[in-house]
Amino acid sequence: MARYIVLLGPPGAGKGTQAAVISKELDLAHISSGDIFRENLKNETDLGKLAAGYMNQGLLVPDDLTIAMIGDRLKRPDCVKGALLDGFPRTPAQADALAKMLAEFDGRVICVPYIYVPAEVLIERLSGRWSCKQGHVYHEKFNPPQQPGLCDVDGSELYQREDDQPATVERRIKVYFEQTSPLIEYYRAAGLLMEVDGTQPIDSVSEQLLAAIRKVA
């Protein structure tokens, strides 16, 4: 049976950073809905144009578009044995749709690590965040690159995400608490939630996440 891991947490909790570590360690495909939307935006696809209006305002892209996009992604060969989902699902309707899609190819969610971080910390983290085009993420205070403005991994230039502007950051956090946080209870009730304190150093969070996942994977 194919096994899928859903990484849950507010924007700025470190999902992308941790997903990169976990997917490498466990040799699993890393599916980031935000990265797929940004890729579509960059390539000016129809989906990218539709999603842009929502993303730039810090709102969620509608469920039907998001579910269809992830459904296509999950059909690709690298997801056959399972995958790590980062940023999806973000609503209970998406979580229901995910369970249905996975059941179609004999897969299921085996655990939901939830990285929790208080709201005030999230604002500080998101507004100091810089990334390279390959998705390596830094923070000017908490995780600075060795050379300012350049990625440690590939040397490319770092940029600030459009939706990391202060007003949009606040909206994204509000949207998270209103629309996504119900998933905490959803997955707790299913016995799948594993809580990890995301205010600890990056390496400690990775270790705890990996230890928790390895117990069930």
Residues at the contact surface with ligand AMP, assessed by CB under 6 A: 11, 33-34, 37, 54-55, 58-61, 66, 87-88, 90, 94, 163, 172
90 with 54: CB under 8 angstroms? no
CB proximity list for 54: less than 8 A, separation 6 or greater = 60, 61, 62
Q: Of 62 and 201, which CB lies nearer to ligand AMP in the complex structure?
A: 62
Query: Is 90 an active-site residue?
Result: yes
CA distance 1 to 116: 29
Instruction: Give me the catalytic one of 3, 38, 125, 172.
Output: 172
In whole angstroms, how close is the CB of 71 to ligand AMP at the nearest point?
Answer: 12
Using the minimum distance from each CB to ligand AMP, give the nearer residue, 54 or 142: 54
Q: Where are the beta strands (DSSP E) in 28-78?
A: 29-32
Q: Is 161 a residue of the active site?
A: yes
15 carries an active-site annotation: yes
Please state, in angstroms and rounded to a whole number, the distance separating the CA atoms of residues 49 and 43. Answer: 9
Q: How far is the CB of 33 from ligand AMP (least distance, A)?
A: 3
**Residue 37 Cβ, how far from ligand AMP at the closest point, in Å?**
5
Out of 3, 15, 73, 125, which one is annotated catalytic? 15
214 is catalytic: no
How many other CB atoms are there within 10 angstroms of residue 54's CB atom? 17
Angle subtended at Cα 105 by Cα 74 and Cα 84, rounded to the nearest 5 degrees = 40
Q: Which is nearer to ligand AMP, 32 or 208 (CB)?
A: 32
Residues recognised as catalytic? 15, 90, 129, 161, 172
